[in-house]
A = this chain, B = another copy of it.
Amino acid sequence: MYKFYYAPGTCALASHIALEEAGAAYKAERLDFKSHQQNSPDYLAINPKGRVPTLVTEQGVLTETPAILAFIAQTFPEAKLAPFDNAFRFAEVQAFTSYLCSTVHVAHAHKLRGYRWATEESSFADMKRMIPKTMASNFALIERDMIRGPWVMGETYTICDPYLFTIGLWLEGDGVDVSALPKVMAHRSRMLERPAVRKVVEEEK
């Protein structure tokens, strides 16, 4: 039985969905970011980064969305969430999850977490003004070059899908005109037809 730490509205949703899709036995633990529970001594003893998601397994603790997603896929091969038997196809999956974590999620983080990289109020305001533009430009690349359809990698649903769905939920709040992203929005609708996705979305509310 895994223990899975998440907070609503964060990227942890992707791993949460993947656990559900895989049929894993897990207990979800919700953290309250408003009271900074992620920086409590108890939580920092589990994940010194003070972030989510964290997956506690019998072998030890795992952090970082791309790592947790691939771990779930490899541990539950019958769910076929990543093509481990084909190094190139698996690398394509990983290139997509890497892009989401290192470029798209980071762009979004400049809206509320500018203090990670700057100190002045004027810099935070400047960063916030850029969000609609950077997020639109990152998602334009996803729309144009990355979504093969119906799922990110084509006919097969993979760990890329809950991750895209999760980050894509931030678009409207980030001021992006989603009408320019028909494939991304169709993908969101398709995701919301999946029982596992609906269950987790409901649970995180």
* A101-B102, A102-B102, A123-B123 known; A117 vs B130 contact (CB < 8 Å): yes
Which interface class (under 10, 10 to 19, 20 to 34, 35 or more) fits A?
35 or more
* A66-B98, A123-B122, A123-B123 known; A88 vs B71 contact (CB < 8 Å): yes
Contact B106 A102, beta carbon cutoff 8 Å: yes
Within 8 A of B (CB), among A71-120: 71, 74-75, 84, 87-88, 90-92, 94-95, 98-99, 101-103, 105-107, 110, 116-120
Q: Which of B48, B75, B91 contacts A67 (CB 8 A)?
A: B91
Please report the C-alpha to C-alpha distance between residue A48 and residue B126 in the assembled complex, in whole angstroms: 26
Taking beta carbons and an 8 Å cutoff, which residues of A are in contact with B? 48-49, 57, 59-60, 62-68, 70-71, 74-75, 84, 87-88, 90-92, 94-95, 98-99, 101-103, 105-107, 110, 116-120, 122-123, 126-127, 129-130, 134, 141, 144-145
